[in-house]
């Protein structure tokens, strides 16, 4: 099944381009869920979510709405005392699991996370810790690499062995970054559209500048056969647009939905 949505939804600069003027911020998710059936939560990268927050979010969305959650930075970037961070993160997911609204967990690693034996072992540790020991449940997980060193057959085989998905990306075409390939390594396929703002990718004053980009129809058409391939190979395929500045992600998601029928 194909799921198309945006990376995040709670942006003040979406008022006007997407949300109506005067709409209470507490109602953003309800409004969003009227059009999209999935959302990638990015606030979980900055703070580990709590049960009450995710319980409230589940209640604001209709049946069959699915959330994916970006792993907290303690789990992917800082990588210190990860046992505690993983345990807290996993425990908070109960409301989404009970409501059958958990899509998967996205582990996005920084560019400095390179293809080394130590880091390959860390991926195995992540797989072990993304589980529910009391129930024996293995939580679905997808890995997003930033460093091109990881694009090898050995990496894909490792992910398949671990049952972890590979996050495909569209982003500026720098030689050191992940190229726009379509690869499936688990039951979950995943694509993130970051935009192609090469001028601001490495040098920017504000984080949003990196994602200030409007895709052309021709650029998105490049992905149609790739997404169709992913959809045919996976049980669930998630497509998220992360060019979020001033609601551009909404329009990109709508374009993709139209192109993919």
The DSSP annotation for 132-170 comes to ETTTTEE--EEEE--SGGG-SHHHHHHHHHHT-EEEEEE
Helix, strand counts (H, E) of the chain: 12, 10
Q: What's the pLDDT score for residue 207?
A: 81
The CATH number of the domain holding residue 213 is 3.20.20.410
Q: Could you tell me if 55 and 92 are in contact, meaning their C-beta atoms sit under 8 angstroms apart?
A: no
CB count within 10 Å of CB 198 equals 13
Q: Output the CA torsion 129→132→136→140 (10° steps).
A: -70
Predicted local distance difference test score (pLDDT) of residue 135: 60
pLDDT at residue number 134: 58
Cβ-contact 57, 100 below 8 angstroms: no
User: Residues in the chain with pLDDT < 50?
Assistant: none
Q: Contact, 105 vs 68, CB < 8 A?
A: yes
Q: What is the reported pLDDT for 230?
A: 97
- Whole domain around residue 155: which residue ranges? 2-259
Q: How far apart are the first and last CA of the chain?
A: 13
Pairing mode, strands 137-138 and 131-132 = antiparallel
**pLDDT tens by residue, 130-185:** 986 556 678 999 999 999 999 999 999 999 999 999 999 999 998 888 999 999 99
Asked if residue 147 lies in contact with residue 113, where contact means CB atoms within 8 angstroms, the answer is: yes
The domain tally of the chain equals 1
Burial call 220-245: b when 16+ CB within 10 Å, e when fewer: beebeebbeebbeebebbbbbbbbbb
């Amino acid at each position: 099944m194909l799921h198309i949505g945006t990376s995040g939804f709670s942006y003040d600069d979406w008022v006007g381009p997407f949300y109506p003027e005067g709409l209470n911020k507490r109602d953003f998710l309800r409004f969003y869920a009227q059009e999209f059936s999935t959302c990638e939560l990015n606030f979980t990268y900055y703070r580990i979510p709590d049960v009450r927050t995710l319980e409230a979010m589940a209640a604001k969305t209709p049946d069959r709405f699915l959330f994916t959650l970006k792993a907290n930075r303690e789990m992917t970037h800082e990588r210190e005392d990860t046992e505690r961070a993983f345990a807290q993160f996993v425990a908070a997911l109960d409301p989404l699991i009970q409501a059958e609204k958990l899509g998967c967990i996205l582990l996005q690693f920084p560019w400095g996370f390179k293809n080394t034996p130590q880091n390959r072992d860390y991926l195995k540790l992540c797989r072990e810790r993304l589980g529910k020991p009391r129930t024996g449940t293995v939580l679905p997980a997808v890995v997003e690499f930033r460093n091109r060193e990881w694009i090898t057959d050995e990496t894909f085989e490792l992910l398949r062995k671990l049952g972890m998905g590979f996050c495909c990306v569209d982003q500026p075409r720098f030689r050191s970054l992940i190229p726009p390939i379509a690869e499936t390594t688990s039951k979950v396929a995943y694509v993130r559209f970051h935009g192609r703002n090469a001028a601001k990718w490495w040098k920017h004053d504000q984080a949003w500048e990196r994602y200030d980009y409007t895709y052309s129809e021709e650029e998105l058409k490049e992905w149609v056969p790739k997404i169709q391939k992913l959809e045919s190979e996976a049980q669930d395929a998630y497509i998220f647009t992360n060019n979020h500045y001033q609601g551009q992600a909404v329009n990109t998601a709508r374009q993709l939905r139209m192109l993919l029928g």
